[in-house]
Amino acid sequence: MEQKKSTSSVNINDLKVIWRIISKNWYIPLLITPIFYIIGYFYVYKLTNVYQASVELLKTNDTYYKDNLITDNGFNSAQSYVDNSNEIRIVKSFDLMKETIFKLKRRLEISYFLVGRVRTTEQFTGIPFSIITNAINPDLKEAILGFKILDYDRYEIKYFKNGIEETKVGKFNIDFIDIDFNISISRGASFTRNTINELKNLEYQVIVHDMNSLVYSFQQALNVQNPDYTNVLILTIDDIIPERAVLILDTLSKVYINKSLDSRFEINERTINYIDKQLEEVSTSLKEIEDTMQNYKQRKAILDLDWEKNDFFAKLSGYDSEKSSLKLKIEAINDLEKYIIEDKDPQFLPPNVFIVDKDPFLTSSVSELYNAQIKLNLSFGFSKESNPNIIDVKQNIKRLKQNILVYLNNTRNATYKIMENINGEVAKYISEIKNMPQKQQDMLNIQRKVVVNEGLYNFLLERRANTKISKASIVSEIKIIDSPRDLGAISPDKPKIISSYVTAGLILSIIIVLVRALFFTTIQSVEELKEKTFLPVIGDLPFQKDVSNTGFVVEDKPTSFIAEGFRTLRTNLQYVFLNSNKKVILFTSNAPGEGKTFTTINIGAILAKGGKKVIMLELDLHKPRIQKALEMNADEGISTYIMGNSKIEDIVKPTIIKNLYAILSGPIPPNPSELVLSERLKDIINFSKANYDFVLVDTPPAGMLSDASYLMQYSDINIFVLNTKYANKGVLNLFHKLVKDNSIKDVYLVLNGIKRRKNKYYYSKYGYGYGYGYGYGYGYGSYGTKS
């Protein structure tokens, strides 16, 4: 049962401590937190919002026209190699961003700022003027140029050059040319004669950017993400102006898409050029054959021939057509082999040569080589040759070339053998034709050549048409699936920042409260004092105004709070003196102004009024206060006695209180602490003890001088007076250390200056009306008891 009570008591005490801390410091968070909120609000107000724009791209393999030369021969039939890490490097490359920024040079080269009272904000639209720079001093790039509209026709530019401010005045819509500028400034749509007065009051700032620096800044602001297991690229740009971020992403997407088409169009053009060359050769050959046949007819006067061997002609024409196709195949193989072997340009892209046979291996291998070359060609635009990705692609191309060359050689040899077989069949039929008349043989040969070349010509025309159609079907593998758009502000998180400031204010408030509670909070009640010390508390003296400054408050205001407090203190002392011969009481404090002298005087008075013979020793020889409080003459006293200039009977002086006497300090000596060490001081102590019931010793503050500690050897009881204005944990620790270090016994504490609110009604109701405090007027102010 006792344990429960103890636990409950501890909890109540803890709550009391918490309540005291709150009641003494409640105003601190109420003051600091709003201040931090205001600071945070103005801080975020001056911050510039950063917005994010986003666009989503998808890499596909769409081809709208399927029946064309490219797909027929497999160069694009296989899906393009998707290396998303490489695509990310391409999109984030400096060159791609550079092309994008230079396309937007007129929009991005110059930044416009509106100067406000609190902050300066960048403007991307709505500026009443526009600047076009033809040339500018490089030292002025990225420098702040002040701009002000003077009137409808003129403007003013200010800037610093070599530490000196320059001012230039120019006219709108007229080129401004001097040693630093070649610019043209024109009015915008919002710049009219009706708005000129308003615009004249505004101040602007202009920054002309270095384009490479601008490219680098936006390259750093660009972020590219590739969600797992997708061919989607998410491009984002963070910028303080959302419209500019959207514009850059839109242009960047278009540049990237166009880059992916360049190589395909180049291949298509080379293929058409190749076919045109073949057509030119076949056309020349066909014309020569037709001229030969016409000349032969005219020379031989041939109008028509009765062909006897139509079967021979048809078969020979078929063999000739087959031979032409095989020759074309060999020529295509030779051209491809030549491209591969010569390899003069490491970024070469072969023309899209056509393979007549649908050879699966050759189709697949050439398609793979084509895609590898496309990838290499794109990579060279954004990476160096030392890049690991480029090295891997080159090794793959080298392997493919070796395999294709071996296969081309084997295919060519096989084709030659087929041609040898066809030639044998042709020779057989030719030998049979020789039995025909000579004119028929000659015309047969000529007409056979015409048919073969016409067939080849028509074949090439068909292929050329297909290639032209395929050009229209070439589309980018990159598709925009989510157009560029503004995602809104992403930073700063203003509510979070303000919350951080408020939190910081609360934390600082708590720290201040804790520091005050631990180191600076003064003790205001006896309960607090008892919780913080192991020394016994013998009494407390209330704070009360409007009491006499003579020092004898127990005489002047016998019914006051403070007089009652002294009577209680006398009662408590009597319990200490009970059944003992203790009579020497020493009074000290931590610092001046805590009330030790006032306590000494009034305890002496209350004891004397109780019939005891009391003497007070004014041993604060540094700053004696008893003589001032009692308005007594101190021409003689302790100092003159120790110096041998007075007798002890001569320095004892009565006060206005019966049975209360005082031995004052006498003239203040130059070495007060040394006089305290004098042996003659013992005579004064012994004399007082022998002739009086109580000896009250007023000493200097123990927290400042060692006199009090030394004099405690003569005392029976030591009273430390604390004042609620100054009493804190540090003061108590000093007393504790003093007591332990000097092994002082019989130490008691008195707490002075306590505010007692509960008794105000009682005293006012019954006419006592002395308020709550007292003033002592001893040169220390009027708060609390002063020494």
Which tokens is 461 given? 């025309």
65-74, 209-218, 497-506: least confidently modelled range: 65-74
- From 144, 143, 115, 110, select the one nearest 129 (Cα to Cα): 110
Q: Which residue has the tokens 């020092």?
A: 551
Residue 149 has pLDDT above 90, yes or no: yes
Q: How many residues does the chain have?
A: 787
- Residue 784 is predicted with a pLDDT of 38
Q: Which of 262-266, 344-348, 637-641, 686-690 shows the lowest mean pLDDT across its residues?
A: 344-348
Tens of pLDDT along 557-595?
888 888 888 999 999 988 888 777 888 999 999 988 888
Picking from 101, 477, 479, 56, the residue whose alpha carbon sits closest to that of residue 236 is 56
C-alpha span between 409 and 635 (Å, rounded): 136
Phi, psi of 436, deg, nearest 5: -80, 165
What kind and span of H or E run contains 453? helix 438-473
For residue 709, what are the CA distances in angstroms to 533, 662, 740?
Answer: 19, 22, 12
User: Residue 779's pLDDT is what?
Assistant: 31
Residue 69 banded pLDDT, cuts 50, 70, 90: very low
Q: Return the closest-CA partner of residue 366 out of 71, 709, 52.
A: 71
List, for residues 648-685, the tens digit of each pLDDT value: 999 999 999 999 999 999 898 888 888 888 889 999 99
Confidence of residue 441 (pLDDT cuts 50, 70, 90): low
What's the confidence (pLDDT) of residue 82? 52
Binned at pLDDT 50, 70 and 90, residue 312 comes out as: low
- The arrangement of strands across the sheet holding 747-754 comes to 537-542, 747-754, 717-723, 584-589, 694-698, 614-618, 660-663, 652-654
For residue 410, pLDDT beyond 80: yes
DSSP 8-state symbol, 188: -
| Order of strands, sheet of 144-149, starting from the edge strand that comes earlier in the sequence | 120-123, 110-115, 203-208, 144-149, 154-161, 164-171
**Does residue 679 contact residue 642 with C-beta atoms inside 8 Å?**
no
Residue 701's pLDDT band (boundaries 50, 70, 90)? Answer: very high
Residue with more model confidence, 377 or 696: 696
H/E segment holding residue 748 = strand 747-754
* Predicted confidence (pLDDT) at residue 772 exceeds the cutoff of 70: no
First-to-last CA distance in the chain? 48
Q: Whole-angstrom Cα distance, residue 731 to residue 777?
A: 25
Mean pLDDT of the chain: 81
> What's the pTM?
0.57
Nearest to residue 370, comparing CAs of 720, 68, 74, 588? 74
The pLDDT, as a whole number, for residue 575 is 86
The predicted-structure confidence for 177-218, as pLDDT tens digits, reads as follows: 999 989 999 999 999 999 999 999 999 999 999 999 999 999
Which long-range CB contacts under 8 A does 241-246 form with residues at least 24 apart?
A: 241/51, 241/122, 241/124, 242/51, 242/53, 242/486, 242/488, 243/124, 243/125, 243/486, 244/107, 244/108, 244/124, 245/51, 245/52, 245/53, 245/486, 246/53, 246/484, 246/485, 246/486
Return the HEC string of 93-157. Answer: CHHHHHHHHHHCHHHHCEEEEEECCCCEEEECCCCCEEEEEEEECHHHCCCEEEEEECCCCEEEE
Identity of the residue numbered 741: D
